[in-house]
Every structure is written in C-alpha cells, then in structure tokens.
C-alpha cells in the first residue's frame, strides 16, 4: 500500500497531510522545523515503512527545503520537491 505525504514547509514549523492509497487521511499535523520535530516526523514515516507502506514525501520549494530534504532522505525516505509556481491542482 502507498502513503503520500504533502509538506507545507515554513521557517519555524511544517504542516503535513498523509494520505493512504485509498485517499483517506491517515494523519495531519504540525511539527516544529527543528531537529526534534524532524525526528518525530521521520520516526512516524519509518513506522509506516515497517508496516509495509511505500512512502513518498512531497515538499514545496522554499529557502529551507534543502535542509529538510537532506534530513528526510538520510533516513532512506523518497522526497520530491515541488515548484509551486508550476504545480497544477489535480482533482
């Protein structure tokens, strides 16, 4: 089963929405953009991977995207960067 995670990244916090393959929200929440918040977010994703989910994360392109992406990718999690100026909403 797949898990798609969208991240709205800000300087001091990031908001996530996690959708399972059947398009049901599995989790949403706000994490601080600090090591503690990133660690909790990564731990949750790794838990889903252990349960057999194929996880992909999409994050908007901002000033701190590179740091966020590097931290998440170091844990072996796929991260896609989205250019919000070129992104089109899909219904």
- What's the CATH number for 2-82? 3.30.420.40
Q: How far is CA 12 from the centre of its chain?
A: 16
DSSP-based three-state secondary structure for 41: helix
Residue 91 has pLDDT above 50, yes or no: no
- Residue 55 CA to residue 48 CA, distance in Å, equals 8
The mean pLDDT of 42-57, rounded to a whole number, is: 93
pLDDT in tens, 59-71: 988 888 999 999 9
Share of the chain above pLDDT 90, in %: 66
């Amino acid at each position: 089963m797949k898990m798609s995670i969208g991240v709205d990244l800000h300087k001091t916090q990031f908001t996530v929405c996690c959708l399972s393959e059947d398009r049901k929200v599995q989790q949403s929440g706000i994490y601080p953009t600090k090591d503690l918040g990133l660690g909790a977010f990564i731990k949750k994703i790794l838990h889903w991977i252990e349960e057999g989910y194929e996880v992909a994360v999409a994050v908007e392109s901002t000033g701190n995207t590179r740091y966020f992406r590097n931290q998440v990718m170091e844990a072996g999690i796929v991260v896609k960067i989205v250019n919000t100026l070129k992104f089109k909403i899909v219904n």
